[in-house]
């Protein structure tokens, strides 16, 4: 099911008397989420991710804008009519119920459309001889097969008689996902579903979520503030800042071609290095040293912010860029050089280079790989090269 958000906006009203301003949590969001894809909604805490998700789920009413599921507008539809499955960060399972009952729970009040039947199971006809359709509860055997089938998808079919406390965090999270999937939703909404798990389980469970999503083909929105998580799991990511969409693309594309300083900064560990610099005669210059040739873009001479990814440096005695190395950390395959530079925005500059390179503290010469170097307008912070 394709999901379309059109100019979606949510304002939480403030209180003028108490001097509390309105909060524009989501600002004119336009996103199309293609059928069967997993989209990562990524941004720092407070940027409007959960608010967006709850509007899609029908738990929050938008201030303006529209939400479409395929050809149907669902903006004002109640949550139970939307066919969504929702998993929260705190995936509270019912502690006194078995896993089986936890998963079956959403089905107990579900009504399905069916042909009216008599005691013998034969269709009841109206006076014109047409079948009569009714809404009915699910039969116990239908519930049973749906629960077992879903449990199999998330691989917890052997734990159905246990209570939640008898499962690990990762297994409990899979139960929460099963509970969201059991009604066969058209849309799966996951709000930071891994943040309560330890590092190893987080990795394992995110691979699991990807597998489940691929095998069911359910259109999924995965909300997280963790860039690595979003990058690893998503078909495409949408980066948000203060309620506003910044960029939407394939994860690698967002990393390789960030549209502004915020996006460049948000993706990548260790983070990108920023330097005060300038454009002069078609060259990008930091502290009087030429970094890259930017003449292809015909930029006017100006002060700029220059971003260089940690992997964007090469140690080379003929290099034009110099930093003062303060320490060298060996990471196995790579080494991490930590240094200082007078134009660096952060206290330290980080370079990740091949472990075969021999580096000692002191001044070293570096070359900068042009495709790892981004130049931003000093005021607007938009990327200009």
Give contact residues for Mg ion (rule: CB under 5 A): 50
Among 3, 37, 38, 48, binds ligand ADP (CB under 6 A): 48
Among 25, 39, 304, 375, binds ligand ADP (CB under 6 A): 25
Instruction: Determine the Cα–Cα distance for residues 115 and 124; give it in Å rounded to an integer.
Output: 8
Between residues 90 and 295, which has the closer beta carbon with respect to Mg ion?
Answer: 90
With vertex at residue 105, the alpha carbon angle to CA 99 and CA 108, rounded to the nearest 5 degrees, is 145
Instruction: Determine the Cα–Cα distance for residues 227 and 194; give it in Å rounded to an integer.
Output: 13
Could you say which of ligand ADP, Mg ion, none residue 25 binds, taking C-beta under 5 to 8 angstroms by partner kind? ligand ADP
Considering the complex, what minimum distance in angstroms separates the CB of residue 243 from Mg ion? 12
51 binds ligand ADP (CB under 6 A): yes
227 binds ligand ADP (CB under 6 A): no
Instruction: Determine the Cα–Cα distance for residues 42 and 46; give it in Å rounded to an integer.
Output: 11
Considering the complex, what minimum distance in angstroms separates the CB of residue 50 from Mg ion? 3
Could you say which of ligand ADP, Mg ion, none residue 258 binds, taking C-beta under 5 to 8 angstroms by partner kind? none
Instruction: Determine the Cα–Cα distance for residues 271 and 308; give it in Å rounded to an integer.
Output: 9
Among 9, 11, 36, 46, binds ligand ADP (CB under 6 A): 46
67 binds ligand ADP (CB under 6 A): no
49 binds ligand ADP (CB under 6 A): yes
* DSSP, residue by residue, 64-132: EEEEEETTEE-TT--GGGS-EEEE-SS----TTS-HHHHHHGGGTT-EEEEE-B-TTSPBPB-TTSPBP
45 binds ligand ADP (CB under 6 A): yes
Instruction: Determine the Cα–Cα distance for residues 318 and 164; give it in Å rounded to an integer.
Output: 62
Using DSSP bridges, classify how beta strands 313-315 and 362-368 pair: parallel, antiparallel or unpaired.
antiparallel
Between residues 53 and 263, which has the closer beta carbon with respect to Mg ion?
Answer: 53
HSE value, Cβ hemisphere, 13 Å, CA-based, for 287: 12
**How many C-beta neighbours within 10 Å does residue 338 have?**
17
Could you say which of ligand ADP, Mg ion, none residue 23 binds, taking C-beta under 5 to 8 angstroms by partner kind? ligand ADP
Among residues 113, 60, 57, which one has the least CA distance to residue 85? 57
The interface region with ligand ADP, picked from 38-46, 121-129, 176-184, 249-257 by CB under 6 A, is 38-46
Between residues 201 and 244, which has the closer beta carbon with respect to ligand ADP?
Answer: 244
Between residues 46 and 319, which has the closer beta carbon with respect to Mg ion?
Answer: 46
Between residues 90 and 168, which has the closer beta carbon with respect to ligand ADP?
Answer: 90
361 φ, ψ (degrees, to nearest 5):
-55, 150
Could you say which of ligand ADP, Mg ion, none residue 48 binds, taking C-beta under 5 to 8 angstroms by partner kind? ligand ADP
241 binds ligand ADP (CB under 6 A): no
23 binds ligand ADP (CB under 6 A): yes
Among residues 59, 64, 77, 69, which one has the least CA distance to residue 1? 69
Among 37, 50, 174, 212, binds ligand ADP (CB under 6 A): 50
Residue numbers at the binding site for ligand ADP (CB under 6 A): 12, 23, 25, 43, 45-51
């Amino acid at each position: 099911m394709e999901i379309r958000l059109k100019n979606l906006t949510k304002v939480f009203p403030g209180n003028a008397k108490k001097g509390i301003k309105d909060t524009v949590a989501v600002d004119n969001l336009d996103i199309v989420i293609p059928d069967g894809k997993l989209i990562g909604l990524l941004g720092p805490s407070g940027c409007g991710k959960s608010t967006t998700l709850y509007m899609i789920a029908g738990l929050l009413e938008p201030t303006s804008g529209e939400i479409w599921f395929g050809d149907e507008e669902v903006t004002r539809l109640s949550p139970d009519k939307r066919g969504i499955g929702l998993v929260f960060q705190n995936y509270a399972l019912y502690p006194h119920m078995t896993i089986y009952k936890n998963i079956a729970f959403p089905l107990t009040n579900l009504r399905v459309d069916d042909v009216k039947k008599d005691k013998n199971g034969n269709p009841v006809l109206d006076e014109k001889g047409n079948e009569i359709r009714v809404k009915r509860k699910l039969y116990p055997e239908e519930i049973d097969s749906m629960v077992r089938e879903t449990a199999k998808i998330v691989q917890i079919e052997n734990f159905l008689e246990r209570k939640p406390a008898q499962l690990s965090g990762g297994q409990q999270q899979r139960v929460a996902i099963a509970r969201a999937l059991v009604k066969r939703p058209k849309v799966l909404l996951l709000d930071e579903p891994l943040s309560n798990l330890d590092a190893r389980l987080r990795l394992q469970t995110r691979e699991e979520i990807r597998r489940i999503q691929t095998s069911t083909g359910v259109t999924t929105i995965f909300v997280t503030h963790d860039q690595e998580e979003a990058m690893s799991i998503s078909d495409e990511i949408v980066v948000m800042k203060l309620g506003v969409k910044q960029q939407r693309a394939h994860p690698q594309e967002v990393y390789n071609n960030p549209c502004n300083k915020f996006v460049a900064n948000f993706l990548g560990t260790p983070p990108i290095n920023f330097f005060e610099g300038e454009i002069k005669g078609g060259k990008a210059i930091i502290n009087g040293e030429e970094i890259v040739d930017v003449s292809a873009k015909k930029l006017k001479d100006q002060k700029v912010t220059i971003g260089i990814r940690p992997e964007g440096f090469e140690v080379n005695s003929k290099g034009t860029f110099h930093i003062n190395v303060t320490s060298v950390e060996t990471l196995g395959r790579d080494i991490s050089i930590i240094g200082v530079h007078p134009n660096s925005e952060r206290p330290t500059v980080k370079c990740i280079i091949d472990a075969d390179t021999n580096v000692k503290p002191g001044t070293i010469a570096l070359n900068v790989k042009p495709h790892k170097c981004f130049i931003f307008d000093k005021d607007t912070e938009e990327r200009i090269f």
